[in-house]
Structure 1
Amino acid sequence: MTALALEVDGLSVSYRQGLGWRQVVEDVSFSVRRGEVLGLVGESGCGKSTVALQLLGFRHGGLRTDAGRIMLDGLNVLGQDRAGLDRMRGARVSFVPQNPTTALNPGMRVGAQIDEILAAHDRPAGDRTRALFGLVGLPDDAAFLRRFPHQLSGGQQQRVCIAMALACEPGFVVLDEPTTGLDVTTQEQIVELLIDLRARLGMSMLYVTHDLGLLSQIADRIGVMYAGHMVEIAPTERLFAAPRHPYTRGLIAALPRIDGARRSVRPLRGLLQRDMLPKGCPFAPRCDYALPRCFEEVQSLSPAGQHHEVACWRLAELPPAAAPADTDLPAAPDHRSTLPLLSVDRLTVSYGRGSRAFTALDNVSLTVEKGETVALVGESGSGKSTLARAIAGMVAPAAGHIRLVQSELAALVKARSPAERRLIQYIFQNPDASLNPRATIGRSLTRPLEFFFPEREASTAEQVTAALAEVRLDAGYASRYPDQLSGGERQRVAIARALIAQPDLLLCDEVLSALDVSVQASILELLQRLKSELGVAMLFISHDLAVVRMLADRVCVLFRGQVMELGPREQVFAPPFHPYTLSLLEAVPSPLRKRKPVRQKTMGSGEPGPGCVYAGRCAVEIPGACRAAPPPWRETPGGLAIRCHHTLEDLQRKASPLAEKGLETP
């Protein structure tokens, strides 16, 4: 039996609330063996990050540990004073944060930040710092070490954070959502790096995330938390093959799939309301199998198989979990007219001037029909958000035209008419930043009405109530402030604010990326319903291809500001693929597919030449041809267009290995 690297026993944690305390973690126990990766998953607010930070002895004035013990390689973490914690952190246990941009010091060069950690533990820097950068796949030359964080990409910043975590060779690493917000190719590279480091260094990990698909690629076991309680722990394959707790089943049912046919997701019933938790099982108010006893009787983990524990007294009575049904979603009514709603023609957008000018979009053309959803996909920096901002009039194009029906739109929104502004509404990625924290929800919804429909002032309250009902929120939300809502509720308000203007086109910019899987499922269901019932067209930006396959009618694949592939959804998700599209599809983590090595080349940072912009990254680059001349467009009879030097027949043959990963060809 492998020795334990970590043992958590009966951990309970409370946060200060007003004059009292609220318990946010209750009697949580688990262990991690040496060299093992334990995933910790659950909805936002379940307590997983609080547990993770306790492994580093994190404390502040508003937090207290009520009970429990944390033994890290024989050391009692909760019994350490500040000096003991300083010696422990970095040397025995280290931390990789969610957001490297805020974790790294913007005023220090990245090499100096590694040196600082080594100096704090009396270890020599210099060669060690360069070796760490090489270990995590970063350049180790002096010029790179002298860069500031803002001069690195998001993936490079996260690699620097990983290098910092490994600086003093700790035996245990805590990772708190380290790939949230990264595109799928960068995420895949970070996961490959962690798997490689684990194999080479033999370190143990606690990996905290809401991404179940990602955990399936890296974790040996997964612990599922709900409302501060551990409700299930199981080996990864067993958890996905035979989930036992109703909450785990709900999370897996809410997971969008890229494999096979389109299917609807099933959001969990209700919301987590900590103020209304019963004395017994915290999940009882949302459970389809709950009995009166569930509300009264506290549940604890009980054996459900080898290395499998579940906190549910009805375990033996529940029917086996059904596999997600591969049924097509209902077809939306055809709202299309003879003229497209939106036309983007040869659009070019540049940032900066002179020698520092950067072309973010290069000669992009596409259309959006009335009632149609067109998805924009591609990794960070591909130009997706720039295109949406240009359509919204937030940035001025250097060349090209944007037309709404037949009318050409002015470059900037301030020059557009109120009617044109009303017809295009933007839903931002982060509702925390886009909603005024000092205005009630009702006031935020009233502002568009005052601007676009001043003649309807008498019926404002009724329209606000109707807008909230449209996104499944009751009228009482109008009197609340944004900080009184969950993340999913705030995103619903942002959607309601856009819809109350009665637009024809919604620009949805990564509106699901920061949400956990169950909240994401409810927003996705809402968008599907709005599309079907209201005929609202959407330009849907996302790096989640599983979501795109469920929602989109057509898909546009962007790389470095250029369109690589454009066509109907099912044709984009079936061979022939553009090599870049293939790399995106292969990078999508899925519990139904085995992880395979990255096929594309390492990310390049050089300026593109006269040929294909993907040439430096392409795994099937044609020597000479791909870098010498722009690639031609290849078109299929079904309306798929691929920009590539390879013929469609060549691309069809090169896509065949993808069938091994579970993507089906219609």
Structure 2
Amino acid sequence: MTPDTVLEVRSLSVAYRQGAGWSRAVDDVSFALKKGEVFGLVGESGCGKSTVSLQLLGYRHPSLRAEGGAVLFKDQNLLKLARPELDKLRGEKIAFVPQNPTTALNPGIRIGRQVAETMVAHGRAKDLGGADAVVGKYLKLVGLPVDPAFLRRYPHQLSGGQQQRVCIAMALCCDPDLLVLDEPTTGLDVTTQEQIVSLLIALRARIGLAMLYVTHDLALLSQIADRIGVMYAGKMVEVAETEVIFNAPKHPYTRGLIGSIPRIDFDSAERERPLRGLLRRQELPPGCPFSPRCDFALERCFTEPQKAEPTGPESSVACWRWREIVPLPPEPIVIPPLPEAKGELPLLTVDKLDIHYGSAGKVFRAVNDVSFAIRQGEVFALVGESGSGKSTIARAISGLVPPAAGTVTLEGKALAPRVNRRSAAQRRLIQYIFQNPDASLNPRARVGETIARPLHYFFRLDRSKAAERVAAALADVQLDGSYAARFPDQLSGGERQRVAIARALAAEPALLLCDEILSALDVSVQANILKLLQALKAEHAIAMLFISHDLAVVRMLADHVCVLYGGEVMEIGPVDRIFAAPFHPYTHTLLQAVPVPLQPPPASDGLNAGEPQRGGQGCVFAGRCPWQIGDICETTRPPWRAGEGGLRLRCHHTIEALNELADWPPLTETSRATRTRHENRVD
């Protein structure tokens, strides 16, 4: 190890118990991490990246064993240390930031006390009282308030971004040398992601912290990582500097990952071709594990294992054909046409919807005066930050949350506020697909039983006819009939989400409520689910209410978009109009926060701080708005403005002024021509 090396992983191999034997999850992985360096670890779900990250903490599950190699931290092999030595090292010298702060934080302990307990546990303070005096220093370091009222809050009283900042503060409070971050921004909206990444960049510059950053979000990783390691099926297939990974990827898998990144622009002239197929560990050949999905594989690739060879001072690639591979022509991005109006009435109409929580003495206005309509076969997207009211609106449409005012109409008939008062036919026509299939699928029911339930309930089918329909529903989501006999824990994340979609399709709905169904999936699985949704829309003319914080995915799939903030509509219109000037100031803020490969996040200037001004007389975005005019935004409700092509937005600025203020995006000639073609389509 060199003097500036903080950690070195040498030929690490790890296996999990599987039945009577062992299955290797990590195979001969090596890399090093220097002081002040951010090393990114990427790959699809199941590639082994989280297993590697946990070995940096000496984590040993009862069903896990290290079959070879070493993890050296300052000349100590973490794989050989006893539990007392590891307990002293973890948190003090090597700290961990988990993916889900909601489950990582203790819901029954105030946040100030949780940070203090970490300091006491590692001898950084004699008691909780002494720790309380310095807790504010670390909360301030991560951009959180330090007043006593904030320290006394419980985790559920914080936003998702604030919870993640508390986790980072707990990780930093013992001044560690290495920070391990496992998907720390998955599930967060783009503005919160921007805040967290900007925070980590600032911390590295300020205190020289080394970081291992595990993620499937390549665009976000490019903003912070110095070097990137790409894993596939437990092997490290490429290691290189970040700019090399994005500008000159050498391994075919790396090329496919980059090509699978959803793009918010349509400039595909220099795009890599996206990945095809899925990672199936049980079907790996004895040679290169990627060969079944590789567009460049030869017969010998399936039989001959390939070792990593150096391509530079600190880079390598495990592909013996990397020198002769040339990029394939990119696949064109298919933009679905706007559906033709069928009939005089929309399929679903939401009119002046208000949704409140709490009692009469303390009411929280979650949704205020929201109206929109969805036509048959149309994908209507709701976008906005966490807490904007997107999921609450979907729950009101499904009948899970009764509105305080307003109506929801399906096929011209008003729906009862609660689902138990709706007819079976109305319940069948609206089906909900939840964000997390791990929680929404019964772990004790086989896939066939799960899909058959709506068939028995709505259609009273006998066993044989239900089995035929189950097979057809699985075929609709591109799964074969053998999946009917499996349990959810035998499926990958993408396969589980396909089963959730199949269950919804079995009811023959007219409208799917898709609530963040892609947020926890890696880019290649996202691409497959997106193609599936586009096919379902084209073949079955199913309408969708698509809720997402990923604006690139929304642009690829949606026909119309509604931008929400603080429970109110900021902007609504055809998708191409939403992504072209004029922008509502909030829409503009969202677009600027979308991570762009190799471009640093915008400098934080406080625009993303603050809460919506709910229930006031002025604009709900006042106080955060970068284009705020003055007191009129605080005191007067903004008027609706009509743009071209059916665009409507609510702002005190005129359409002409908003056109002048817009500076997103810096367009290339190709993307400018593409945008013009799609604007003409809307006209």
Q: TM bucket by the smaller chain?
A: over 0.9
Greater CA drift, 335-344 or 261-270: 261-270
Partners of 2:619 and 2:3 in 1: how far apart?
51
Q: How does 1:574-589 map to 2 (within 5 A)?
A: 574-589=580-595
Unmatched segments (≥5 aa) in structure 1:
none
From the superposition, tell whether residues 37 and 192 of structure 1 become closer, same or farther in structure 2 (CA, over 3 Å).
same
Report how far residue 328 of structure 1 moved: 4.4
Of 501, 504, 518 in structure 2, the residue corresponding to residue 498 of structure 1 is 504
Instruction: Give the structure 1 partner of residue 322 of structure 2.
Output: 315
Partners of 1:506 and 1:536 within 8 A in 2: yes
Mapping of residues 393-412 of structure 1, within 5 Å: 393-412=399-418
1:654 aligns with 2:656: no
Separation in 1, partners of 2:341, 2:221 = 40
Q: How does 1:334-483 map to 2 (within 5 A)?
A: 334=340, 336-454=342-460, 459-483=465-489
Aligned counterpart, 1:613:
620
The equivalent of 1:139 in structure 2 is 145
Partner of 1:16: 17
Residue 185 (str. 1) matches residue 191 (str. 2): yes
**1:636 lines up with 2:643 in the alignment:** yes
Asked if 1:68 corresponds to 2:69, the answer is: yes
1:336 is displaced (CA, Å) by: 3.3
Q: 1:643 to 1:326 in 2, by over 3 A?
A: farther
CA shift for structure 1 position 129: 0.8
- After the TM superposition, which of the residue ranges 143-152 and 551-560 deviates more from structure 2? 143-152
CA deviation after TM superposition for structure 1 residue 91, in Å: 2.1
- Which amino acid is 1:271 matched to? L
Aligned length: 665
TM (norm. structure 2) is 0.94
Distance 1:265 1:289 in 2: 14
User: In 2, distance between residues paired with 1:126 and 1:440?
Assistant: 50
* Partner residue, 1:282: 289
Deviations 1:133-188 (A, max 9, x none): 11101111122112111111111111010001101111110000001111111111
CA distance in structure 2 between the partners assigned to 1:276 and 1:639 by the alignment: 50
Q: What is the one-letter code of the residue matched to 1:654?
A: L
Map residues 545-624 of structure 1 onto 2, 5 A cutoff. 545-591=551-597, 593-598=599-604, 601-605=607-611, 607-608=613-614, 609-624=616-631
Structure 1 residues 476 and 455, CA, compared in 2 at 3 Å: closer, same or farther? closer
Within 2, Cα distance between the matches of 1:236 and 1:68?
A: 26
The answer to whether the 8 Å contact 2:230/2:236 transfers is: yes
Amino acid across the alignment from 2:26 = V
Distance 1:367 1:543, change over 3 A: same
Partner Cα separation in structure 2 for residue 384 and residue 652 of structure 1: 27
Cα distance 1:126–1:458, how it changes in 2: closer, same or farther (>3 A)?
A: closer
Give the corresponding residue for 1:247.
253
Query: Which position in structure 1 is the counterpart of 2:114?
Result: 113
Question: Which range moved further: 295-304 or 476-485?
Answer: 295-304
| Structure-2 residue corresponding to 1:541 | 547
Three-state SS of the structure 2 residue aligned to 1:496 is helix
Which amino acid letter does the alignment assign opposite residue 174 of structure 2?
A: C
Q: Indicate the residue corresponding to 2:277 in structure 1.
A: 270
Q: CA deviation at 1:332?
A: 6.2
Whole-angstrom distance in 2 between the partners of 1:219 and 1:534: 43
Using the TM superposition, give the Cα deviation of residue 480 of structure 1 relative to its aligned residue in structure 2, in angstroms.
Answer: 1.3
Could you tell me whether the CA contact under 8 Å between 1:249 and 1:321 is conserved in 2? no
8 Å contact 1:261–1:327 — kept in the other structure? no
The offset of 1:219, in angstroms, is 0.8
Q: Report the alpha carbon displacement of residue 71 of structure 1 after superposing the two structures with TM.
A: 1.7
Is residue 2:300 matched to residue 1:293? Answer: yes
Measured against aligned partners, the alpha-carbon deviations of 1:242-295 in whole angstroms (never above 9, x if no partner) come to: 211111111112111002358999653332222222222111222222222222
Distance 1:557 1:262, change over 3 A: farther
Q: 1:476 to 1:602 in 2, by over 3 A?
A: closer
Partner of 2:236: 230
Q: Secondary structure at the match of 1:79?
A: coil
What is the TM-score normalised by the length of structure 1?
0.96
Q: Secondary structure at the match of 1:349?
A: strand
Aligned-residue offset at 1:317: 2.2
> What secondary structure sits across from 1:182 in the alignment?
coil
SS at 2:666 equivalent: helix
Q: CA deviation at 1:599?
A: 5.7
Conservation of the 8 A alpha-carbon contact between 2:13 and 2:28: yes
Q: Tell me what 1:512 maps to.
A: 518
Question: Could you tell me how far apart the structure 1 residues matched to 2:503 and 2:122 are?
Answer: 52
Task: Judge which range, 55-64 or 260-269, deviates more.
Answer: 260-269
Matched position secondary structure for 1:359? strand
Q: Give the unaligned 5+ runs of structure 2.
A: 126-130, 677-683
- Tell me the distance in 2 between the aligned counterparts of 1:170 and 1:599: 28
Q: Is 2:588–2:664's contact at 8 Å kept on the other side of the alignment? A: no
Separation in 2 of the partners of 1:314 and 1:337? 57
Cα offsets for 1:602-640 (capped at 9, x unmatched): 422475321011102111212201010111111113111
2:53 alignment partner in structure 1: 52
Q: Which moved more, 1:242-251 or 1:386-395?
A: 242-251
Counterparts of 2:160 and 2:11 in 1: how far apart (Å)?
37
Alpha-carbon offset, residue 494 of structure 1: 0.9
Task: For residue 652 of structure 2, give the secondary structure of its aligned residue in structure 1.
Answer: coil
The separation in 2 between residues aligned to 1:233 and 1:262, in whole angstroms, is 25
Report if aligned partners of 2:243, 2:598 keep a CA contact under 8 Å in 1.
no
Give the stretch that moved more between structures: 269-278 or 100-109: 269-278
1:330 positional shift: 5.0
* Counterpart residue number, 1:33: 34
Specify the code of the residue in structure 2 equivalent to 1:69.
A
The answer to whether the 8 A contact 1:255-1:265 is kept is: no
Residue by residue, what CA displacement relative to the aligned partner does 1:114-148 show, whole Å, maximum 9, x if unpaired?
A: 11111122113233211001110111112211211
Looking at structure 2, the residues matched to 380 and 518 of structure 1 have their Cα atoms a distance apart, in angstroms, of: 24
The question of whether the paired residues in 1 share the 8 Å contact of 2:451 and 2:506 is answered with yes
- Between the aligned partners of 2:111 and 2:600, the Cα distance in structure 1 is 35
CA distance in 2, matches of 1:236, 1:230: 15
1:3–1:33 Cα contact (<8 Å) kept: yes
The separation in 2 between residues aligned to 1:256 and 1:436, in whole angstroms, is 31
Identity level (%) = 61
Q: Which moved more, 1:559-568 or 1:603-612?
A: 603-612
Is the CA contact (8 Å cut-off) linking 2:111 and 2:151 kept in structure 1? yes
* Compared CA separation, residues 660 and 530, structure 1 to 2 (3 A): closer
Provide the C-alpha distance between the structure 1 equivalents of 2:371 and 2:284, rounded to a whole number of angstroms: 52
Q: Measure, in 2, the Cα distance between the counterparts of 1:83 and 1:465.
A: 53
Q: How does 1:148-163 map to 2 (within 5 A)?
A: 148-163=154-169
Tell me the distance in 1 between the aligned counterparts of 2:267 and 2:408.
34
Partner SS, residue 566 of structure 1: strand
Alpha-carbon shift at residue 378 of structure 1 (Å):
0.3
Does the 8 Å contact 1:261/1:328 carry over to 2? no
C-alpha offsets along residues 382-434 of structure 1, whole Å, 9 cap, x if unaligned?
00001011011111111001111211111111111111111111111111111
Q: Is the 8 A contact 2:376 2:543 kept in 1?
A: yes
